[in-house]
Amino acid sequence: MNGRMLVEQARMELVLTLRRGEAVLLTLIVPVSLLLFFGATNLFDIEIGFLVPGLLTLSVISSALVALAIATGFERKYMVLKRLGATPLPRSVLFAGKMVATLLLEVLQIVIILAAARLFLDFRPPIAWWALVLAVVLGTAAFGGLAFLLSGTLRAEATLAVVNGLFVAFFGLGGVMFSIDGLPRPLAAVADIMPAAGLSEMIRWATGFSETLGEVVWVLVFWAIVAPLLAVRFFSWEEK
């Protein structure tokens, strides 16, 4: 019974996301557009081996943080979450459905980025798949936990504003397009305690760009554990 509910729930979530124009733009179109633009123009002189893992990081953030938080926030506002609470659907299956849909969307994003890099930029990195999967799972836990924490405590409009702001912040401070080492000291200090830097570090390692894994990865692990716990603690099903 729960298995069937999970499949149906995940399918619904994925369909709804793919039907939202702004979510498709942010998760599927923006990352690959950035790849083709910066990969082809050599503007800022970004190495392709650095750029691809950065955009994979951005992809995870766009799905697990931005798209997920906005969808959940508005479902809460329109009392979808409350209504589902009056059905036999367990809360755990509701959230599992969201996570499965997010992971599927991320698989699609990764396939598109890697395929575009290969086809148009002739980039074939040596990928340690287990490490890439682990990085995506940790990133999804960290950013997904953050998404639930925000959407379960703020009003939907505030969630929308905050996650869009965070998306821009992580774009600059997450080691996505520019190395954190090049940032001014105070900014680098902020970047170092955010989950994005650890995720980009780990994906760069998984795709063979860097040979060693920096300690900043532990920051990602910390967020992957703490953000979901905070979300469970503070999530409320209805806006006050």
Partner 1 sequence: MSISIHLENLTKRYDALTAVDGLSLDVRTGETYALLGPNGAGKTTTVEILEGLRASDSGTVEVLGLNPVSDRTRLQRRIGVMLQEGGVYQGAKAREVVSLFASYYPSARATDELLELVGLADRATTLHRRLSGGEKQRLSLALALVNRPQLVFLDEPTAGMDPVARRTTWEIIEHMQSEGVTILLTTHFMDEAERLADRVGILNHGRLVAEGSPSDLIQARGDVSFVSVPQLPVEELIEEIGIDVREVRTGFYVVTTDTPSPALVSNVTAWLANRDALITELRVGAGGLEEVFLALTEENNR
Q: Which positions from 76 through 95 interact with partner 1, judged by CB under 8 A?
A: 78-80, 82-83, 85-90
Q: Can you tell me the distance from the alpha carbon of 57 to that of 62, in angstroms, rounded to the nearest whole number?
A: 9
Q: Estimate to the nearest angstrom the gap between the alpha carbon of 1 and the chain centroid.
A: 29
**Contacts with partner 1: how many residues (CB under 8 A)?**
23
> Could you give the residue ranges of the DSSP H alpha helices within the chain?
2-19, 21-24, 30-41, 48-60, 68-77, 80-84, 91-121, 129-151, 156-173, 185-192, 195-206, 217-234
CB of 7 to partner 1, least distance (A): 8
Q: Is the Cβ of residue 52 or residue 70 nearer to partner 1 in the bound state?
A: 70
| Residue 4 engages partner 1 in binding (rule: CB under 8 A) | yes
| Residue 25 engages partner 1 in binding (rule: CB under 8 A) | no
Q: Is 164 exposed, middle or buried (0-12, 13-18, 19+ CB in 10 A)?
A: middle
CB of 69 to partner 1, least distance (A): 16
- Which span (3-11, 103-111, 154-162, 218-226) binds partner 1, by CB under 8 A? 3-11
| Residue 75 engages partner 1 in binding (rule: CB under 8 A) | yes
- Does residue 30 contact residue 62 with C-beta atoms inside 8 Å? yes
Site residues, partner 1 (CB under 8 A) = 1, 4-5, 8-9, 12, 15-16, 19-20, 74-75, 78-80, 82-83, 85-90
